[in-house]
Amino acid sequence: MDAISDEAGAKRARGLDRAFEILDFLRQKRQALKPNEIAAQIGAPRSSVYELVNLLLRNGILEFSGGEGRVYLGRKLYFLGAAYENHFDFTRECEAALDWLADETRETAQFCMLDGNKYTVVRMREGARPFRISTDIGQSVPIPWTASGRLLVAHMSDEEILAFIPPQDFRLPDGKWLDSAQFLAEVRRADADGFFTFNSIVDSFTHCFAVPVMGEEGHAAATLCLVAPRADGLANRERYLDCLKAAAARLGQAPTGAKRVLA
């Protein structure tokens, strides 16, 4: 009986893992897809994907969208997310920090974290400029492309970092390759300095600033960032860094219950 129970439990666990894989895949694709398209792209049996999609549809976690049987993330996820945010005071403190940074600097302010082995913007406030500097919230970006990435992996050894980041992520948007030794040296410098700034390697006109927000484990669990026009960023470098450090220090001192989101 125990062996049968263990086998059933393992099957349910695999089903949950696959369900989360489907949800995460749709989040990254940001478009409605047919179940057979999902199965093909995540390399899963069509039968199990159809079964899980139907289960998620019945529970409002997925919804039909775009016709022809396509599905996308359901509105119940919004309500679950809203309940999560209501539970953690940290979210409100984060919003306040971004509002203050955007008002103080007039630049785009971001709160960023790792999502698996990728970087993502979790929260953002656009600056008071006539042109828009922003990024898609929740979009996965290779760690080496970002200023924050140097800080978010700084607690790892060099070997752990290279095992953690997919080799292809060192290929930059222009097709050139970032030398891994250079990246590791920048990680160690960022860790020693407590910040990292550089001219963006994703576009040609912005300068990026990042400082760590320390989690309960004593390393950077998140970052606060500013994205500024290159000339303005370089001209105001020290002031912008002072603003970021002040905001990050306040977030790092958030109440213990609120900081669980950074654990």
For residue 236, what pLDDT is reported? 95
In this prediction, residue 87 carries a pLDDT of 61
Sketch the domain layout of the chain as residue ranges: 2-77, 88-262
The pLDDT value recorded for residue 257 is 38
Q: Where are the beta strands (DSSP E) in the chain?
A: 62-64, 71-73, 108-115, 118-125, 141-142, 196-199, 206-214, 220-229
Which pLDDT band holds residue 130 (cuts at 50, 70, 90)?
A: low
**Which pLDDT score, from 0 to 100, does residue 90 have?**
63
Looking at the predicted structure, is the pLDDT value of residue 25 above 80? yes
Q: Which CATH class is domain 88-262?
A: alpha beta
* pLDDT tier at 46, thresholds 50, 70, 90: very high
Q: Sort 126 into a burial class: Cβ within 10 Å, 0-12 / 13-18 / 19+.
A: middle
Instruction: Quote the pLDDT of residue 210.
Output: 97
pLDDT at 8: 64
* pTM for the full predicted model: 0.70
Do the bridges between strand 196-199 and strand 206-214 make them parallel or antiparallel, or are there none, so unpaired?
A: antiparallel
Structure confidence at residue 137 (pLDDT): 77
Determine the pLDDT at residue 219: 87
Percent of all residues in the chain with a pLDDT value above 70, rounded to a whole number: 86
pLDDT at 52: 94
Cα gap 20→31, rounded to integer Å: 16
| pLDDT value at residue 94 | 86
CATH code for the structural domain at 2-77? 1.10.10.10
